[in-house]
């Protein structure tokens, strides 16, 4: 802009010089005698010179006008730049404020995460403490099926077809039991149940602790539990611990523990899966609702002599299926 102002100042000086020349020429023309033979010639020469000077002045005015327009435009652009710089400064201020706020929020989140981590660690320690406390007396506390499972060996149980009553149909993989009518024509043997529709699992247990799950969601009448390997299979059989059976029953919508006499059981909800815990060491058989881990019933401090095996029973054609849950 300084160069433009210098040009404008120079143009003003040129205008002043041209105007001064015109004045001088006019004065000179006034002093020239009109009767002089050269007056007309001098008048024409001076008029031409004055005309050139006026054109120069006019041209200078136009150039200065253009220069002033440029200056005004530059001022406008300068104001716009200043305005943009001011806006950028304001945005920068907002951005810095937001960054500071984000940093503060990040610090708060980090603090919260740290507090949550500490609470989680404390909760984990508390759970471990309660878990250890539970494990020290787990035989006497009929709760927390998932924790109890850690003390037992989970078995991939299958059914022993040689023991199945003719009314029971076993799936090909040996994990599902359904009722079949008419009864199958199966060979008679001492191992096969003839009077009650039962089948045994392949597990033969005389020591240790074992766990398996049975899907009962679509079954309506069943017995589940364990029995001695050589229980009575023919004639009138009463399922009770005295006769070598430790089982629970669902019949006509009622749940029972098969003691002698039977024990009525009250469940909060119908189980979809029943977990069976067999502890040969302590003489304990416990049943749990695996949906919520709640306790159903326990036969405790029993005398297991010889081999103990899983037991399954259906009652009739509308009993529905029992399915052993396969462990991956």
β-strand partners of 168 = 179
E strand or H helix at 209 = strand 209-215
Least confident range from 4-8, 166-170, 251-255: namely: 4-8
Q: pLDDT at position 38, please?
A: 66
DSSP, collapsed to helix, strand or coil, labels residue 192 as coil
Q: pLDDT at position 139, please?
A: 53
Least confident range from 26-40, 49-63, 305-319: namely: 26-40
Asked if residue 5 has pLDDT above 60, the reply is no
CB 160 within 8 A of CB 127: no
Q: pLDDT at position 36, please?
A: 57
What single string gives the DSSP state of each residue in 279-312?
Answer: ETTTTEEEEEETTTTEEEEEE-S----S-EEEEE
**Please, which pLDDT band fits residue 126 given cuts at 50, 70 and 90?**
confident
Q: Per-domain residue ranges for the chain?
A: 2-113, 145-324
CATH architecture observed for domain 145-324:
Sandwich (2.60)
Residue with the bigger pLDDT between 321 and 23: it is: 321
Q: pLDDT at position 274, please?
A: 97
Cis peptide before 261 (omega within 30 of 0): yes
**Please, which pLDDT band fits residue 115 given cuts at 50, 70 and 90?**
confident
Q: pLDDT at position 127, please?
A: 75
Reported as a single tens digit per residue, the pLDDT across 289-323 is 998 888 999 999 999 989 999 999 999 999 999 99
Q: What is the mean pLDDT of the segment spanning 65-79? A: 73
Reported as a single tens digit per residue, the pLDDT across 226-246 is 999 999 999 899 999 999 999
User: What does pLDDT average to over the chain?
Assistant: 84
CA–CA separation, 146 and 45 (whole Å): 123
Among residues 231, 222, 226, 223, which one has the least CA distance to residue 212?
A: 226
Q: pLDDT at position 1, please?
A: 55
Q: What is the mean pLDDT of the segment spanning 208-234? A: 96
Q: What is the mean pLDDT of the segment spanning 191-200? A: 96
Q: Identify the residue whose tokens are 């611990």.
A: 241
């Amino acid at each position: 802009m300084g160069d433009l102002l210098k040009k404008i100042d120079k143009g003003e000086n040129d205008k002043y010089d041209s105007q001064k020349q015109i004045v001088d020429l006019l004065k000179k023309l006034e002093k020239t005698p009109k009767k002089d033979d050269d007056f007309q010639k001098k008048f024409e020469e001076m008029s031409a010179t004055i005309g050139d000077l006026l054109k120069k002045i006019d041209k200078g005015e136009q150039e200065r006008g253009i220069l002033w327009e440029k200056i005004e435009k530059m001022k406008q652009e300068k104001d716009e730049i200043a305005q943009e710089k001011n806006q950028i400064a304001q945005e920068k201020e907002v951005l810095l404020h937001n960054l500071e706020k984000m940093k503060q929020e990040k610090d708060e989140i980090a603090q919260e995460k740290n507090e949550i981590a500490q609470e989680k660690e404390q909760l984990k320690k508390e759970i471990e403490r309660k878990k250890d406390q539970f494990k020290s007396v787990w035989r006497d506390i009929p709760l927390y099926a998932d924790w109890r499972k850690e003390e037992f060996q989970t078995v991939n149980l299958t059914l022993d077809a040689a023991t199945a009553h003719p009314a029971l149909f076993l799936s090909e993989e040996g994990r599902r039991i359904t009722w079949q009518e008419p009864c199958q024509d199966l060979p008679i043997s001492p191992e096969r149940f003839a009077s009650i529709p039962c089948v045994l699992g392949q597990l033969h247990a005389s020591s240790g602790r074992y766990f398996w799950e049975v899907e009962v969601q679509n079954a309506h009448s069943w017995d589940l539990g364990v029995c001695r390997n050589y229980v009575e299979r023919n004639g009138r059989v009463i399922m009770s611990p005295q006769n070598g059976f430790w089982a629970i029953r669902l019949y006509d919508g009622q749940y029972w523990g098969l003691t002698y006499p039977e024990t009525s059981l009250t469940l909060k909800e119908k189980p979809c899966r029943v977990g069976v815990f067999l502890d040969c060491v302590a003489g304990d058989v416990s049943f749990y609702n695996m949906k919520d881990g709640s306790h159903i019933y326990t036969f405790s401090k029993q005398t297991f002599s010889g081999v103990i095996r899983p037991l399954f029973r259906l009652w009739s054609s509308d009993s529905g299926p029992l399915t052993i849950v396969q462990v991956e």
